[in-house]
Every structure is written in C-alpha cells, then in structure tokens.
Structure 1
Amino acid sequence: MALPATSLPIRRHGADGTIALLDTLTDIWAHAHTGHDDVAEAGFTPETLRRQITAHTRHDGFALIVASSTDQAVGFGYGFRCTPAYWYGEQLLPAITSDARDTDSLAGICELAVRPDWQGQGVGSRLHAALLEALDTEWVSLLVMPGNGPARRLYDRLGYRYAGPYRPGPDGPELDLLLLRTPSAPSAP
C-alpha cells in the first residue's frame, strides 16, 4: 500500500548520491513530462537532463531532495547556490530587482518533478520546502516553460513572481524566469 503524500519520506542527497540516482531521476522526469510536447520541442529530453544534473552536481551548495513511497521514488527537486550573474546571465541581470541582483544569497532551482499519479497531492510543495531548507538562501529562482499551467500555478501559490523572459543560449527556447524571496529571508527595509 502506498503512503499518503503528506507522510512520504523526504531525503536529501549530495552529489555522489545524485549520480547513483540518475536513472531514477530521469524516469520520474520523463513520466512527469509525458504529453508535454513543448518540452521535447524545446530540446529537453531525459538525456539532456542527465547531462544537466551531472554538470550541476559540481556546484558548491548542490542539493537533491527525493520523495519516496514504499515502492518507488515519486518526485525530486534539485538546485544549487550561485551568483546572480551566473544564474540570470548578463542580458537579464539589469532587469532583475536590485535586492535579488545584488544578493550574495541566491540559489537556482533546476528541476522539480513529480510522477503524474502523485501530482496535486502536495508532493511538489513538500519537495520545494525541503529544497529551500537545504539551499538556505535569501533568494531562489527557477525557470518554467511558459505554457506549463500546472507548474506555474504551483509556483504562483508558493509566492514566485515573474522576473522576465530567459533564453538559455541563442537557439534556446524562451522560458519564464521566476523569483522568490524565501520566507526565512529578512524583510526588506
């Protein structure tokens, strides 16, 4: 019998544990994106995810959070601490609010994926909360496909705000860059 979403174990993994979980992570991601033709058209595939995760494990402050039921991993999220110049890029950096542009406490969330049978049950919110705790920064930012309504509704509910369009390279797709001042961050003066 599967555990209710509110009691799923959530576990943090470092870089070494993440590499060992690549097959599981790509399987979750592929299931979460089934039927999202825009994702494949934008060039995002399980193989590009594997390369992306492998490269990102080399960043300081890397954290992977995995939620599991009794018989399988059902969702994951990962990110790492970074500088605003690295995350936003030189083109978008001037358009970012000065608090988020000038911070030395920023993390980028690179993926948050939940198997379809577990979506809408709070797993994504729990993964996000555990990821914020693990990353422990004043600001977090992430990218979302403009047409991904369910993801965007989750991020809006979590308090993210649209920061601008982001294009990962000259031929890359245009994504929505979202920004969140974390709940534990000190209030702006």
Structure 2
Amino acid sequence: MTDTFALRRYGAGDVELLLDTLVDTWADAHAEQPDVADAGFTPDALRRQITGHARRDDFTLITAYADGHLIGYGYGFRCTPAYWYGKDLLPHITPEDARTTDSLAGICELAVRPSWQGQGIGAHLHQALLDAMRPRWASLLAMPGAPAQQLYQRLGYRYAGPYKSGPQGPVLDLLLLRTDL
C-alpha cells in the first residue's frame, strides 16, 4: 500500500465503464456492516441507484486511485430541496434557506475500501465533490449509528431529521451542511 492517492472526476457518461468497480468498492467498504444489507442496501440496489442517478446531466463522480486501483469514490448531483428532502420532510427543514435554496447538492455515496479508511480519503473525496458542484448546501443520508457518521460530523454536517424513502424503506438520518460559510 502507498501513502499517496490521486483523485479523478467523471461525469454521467463514464459510469457504465466504471460501474462494476464502483459496486465492488462499495461492497468491500460495507462488508463488515450487516445492518446495511438488512436495510435493503445491496450491490444490486446500488447498481440500480447509480445507473438511475447517472441519467442526470449534473451527475458528478469523484474517484480515488492508488497504484492504479480504485480505493474509494463519491458521487452526487445538484437538485432541488423538494426533490431531495421529499414532501413530508421539506416543511420541517431548518434553516429556511436550506429548504428554499436553488443551490443544493445531494451526496449519494462516499465509499472507501477498509484498508484505506481513516486516512482522510473520504474527506478528500467529499471536498472534491463540493468543489466540482459548488453548492450553497450539501445533504446526505446516513444509517443511524454508522461509522461514517463520525466523518460527517467532522465535516460539519448536522442532523436535519429522519428520512424514509418509502413505506418499506429504513429510516435514515438526513444530514445537512452549509458549504459557503
């Protein structure tokens, strides 16, 4: 293992060629978290999610490579508060600017292979996503109690409410970050 890594930015048109490697990286990053699969988050579900999100023109993917191997990635896209928060949660988002903004990025995935975790790669991926999308607000969903919550807290995210994507979906923590302070 090397102590250096390189970041690379991709767009929606690049996803098809990278999809298998992205899914493998995600599965490796979550291998020791059985609650992820129990909540319905599986490699097949991720494959459908990425493919669907990559249809957006504003889709942004940032990857981290070391010695030519993918060691982590993050992706997201700019969206409206109504799309991201959903009609039930939208009226409860505070501050008001976070629910009325025209500058919101939804961060959909941050995944780093276990042997590379704890080395700042997730923070670098996150910052590269923000630099590429330049939103006023960023939001993401996280499993309550997940180890990644520590990273999100260090990055400045704050809890904005419970989020449930559907009647059978798990309840996730909706986290919010003001990026232009």
TM norm structure 2: 0.97
Q: CA RMSD in A?
A: 0.9
| Alignment partner of 1:136 is 2:130 | no
Question: Aligned to 1:77, which of 63, 74, 77?
Answer: 74
| Alignment partner of 1:3 is 2:5 | no
Deviation at 1:174, TM superposition (A): 0.2
Question: Aligned to 1:110, which of 105, 108, 111?
Answer: 108
1:53 matched residue in structure 2: 50
Q: For 1:89-128, what aligned pairs fall within 5 Å after superposition? A: 89-97=86-94, 98-128=96-126
Cα distance in structure 1, aligned partners of 2:50 and 2:86? 19
**How many residue pairs were aligned?**
180
**Amino acid paired to 1:50:** R
Cα distance in structure 2, aligned partners of 1:135 and 1:76? 15
**Amino acid paired to 1:141:** S
Indicate if the aligned counterparts of 1:60 and 1:81 stay in contact, CA closer than 8 A: no
> For 2:86, what is the secondary structure of its paired residue?
helix
Cα distance in structure 2, aligned partners of 1:71 and 1:85? 39
**Amino acid paired to 1:22:** L
Which ranges of structure 2 fall in alignment gaps of 5 or more residues? none
Runs of 4+ in 1 over 3 A off after TM superposition: none
| Alignment partner of 1:18 is 2:19 | no
Cα distance in structure 2, aligned partners of 1:53 and 1:159? 25
**Amino acid paired to 1:82:** C
Query: Per-residue displacement from partner, 1:10-62 (whole Å, max 9, x unpaired)?
Result: 00001111221001000110000012111101110001001000000112311
